[in-house]
Amino acid sequence: MNPLRKDYETLQLGRHDSHVLLVTLNRPEASNAMNTQMGRDLMELFEEFQIQFHDLRCIVVTGAGEKAFCAGGDLKERRGMTDEAWQAQHAIFERMVRAIMACPLPVIAAVNGAAYGGGCELAAATDFIYASESARFALTEVTLGIMPGAGGTQNLPRAVGMRRAKEIILTGEPFTAAQAEDWGLVNQVVPLDALLKTTLATARRIAENAPISVRQAKQSMHRGLQMSLWDALAFEIEAYNRMVPTEDRREGINAFNEKRKAVFRGR
């Protein structure tokens, strides 16, 4: 297996307990705003997990520094762009967010500060979000003459409901981490100095579970919610049956009966 590339221009990668990857958006001088290169870097990284997992079982995404998770699209880079250049750049962002949403591994956002525009969309594209008490969210695109185009109009209503999402997107008004938790966008709000510790602890807990089981359960929820109930139940059983012939299934049952901690190997 080839090693996972680590020399991304706009990302900092670090492993935790071998099975957890911490991805840090690393443009603090620009509030981690998403330029074309960051879009390419995230797209390449997450598309890689469609091919191989590199022995990873969970991914955490956060921002460098204490002020911003991601301030959205880099408007300084976008100033003066032709229509064609704008659309070409946005195609990269579209492919990037689809790669994150399609990632077979669980992805958790640790939102450490402002998550505005595309930054909010990036967080909403992950499986769930932990946020610092100082985090702020907004989809401000309508104040700039555009609209959310990286999953915001789809992922936000699925998280907070249609009526709340309309209020957020059509006003462009920022909202707090506490509001985001109350509305269902954020799972947990913690002090900033505890954010990574708390998020990585959850990631490690996920990584301790049977990796095939985790991936299949994620897939079943993702796909099933797009189907009718009866089609989704059939899909669930297909996903479930993938575990029956695995070594991990036998290990899990044996460990339970032997009163010991299971050691899952992903096969």
Instruction: Give all strands of the β-sheet with 136-138 in edge-to-edge order.
Output: 68-70, 114-116, 136-138, 175-176
Residue pair 85/78 in contact (Cβ under 8 Å)? The answer is: no
Among the listed residues 121, 173, 247, 251, the single catalytic one is 121
Which value, to the nearest 10 degrees, does the dihedral of the CA atoms of residues 108, 114, 119, 124 take?
40
CA distance 116 to 184: 17
Choosing from 66, 77, 141, 167, the catalytic residue is 141
Tell me, yes or no, if 48 is annotated catalytic: no
Amino acid letter at 23? V
Task: Report d(CA 215, CA 243) in Å as an integer.
Answer: 11
Output b/e per residue, 190-203; b: 16+ Cβ within 10 A. Answer: beeeebbebbbebb
CA distance 209 to 160: 28
Asked if 111 contacts 62 with a C-beta cutoff of 8 angstroms, the reply is yes
Do 60 and 199 contact (CB within 8 A), yes or no? Answer: yes
Q: Is 121 a catalytic residue?
A: yes
Phi-psi region of 156 (alpha: psi -120 to 50; beta: other; left: phi over 0): alpha
Catalytic residues: 121, 141
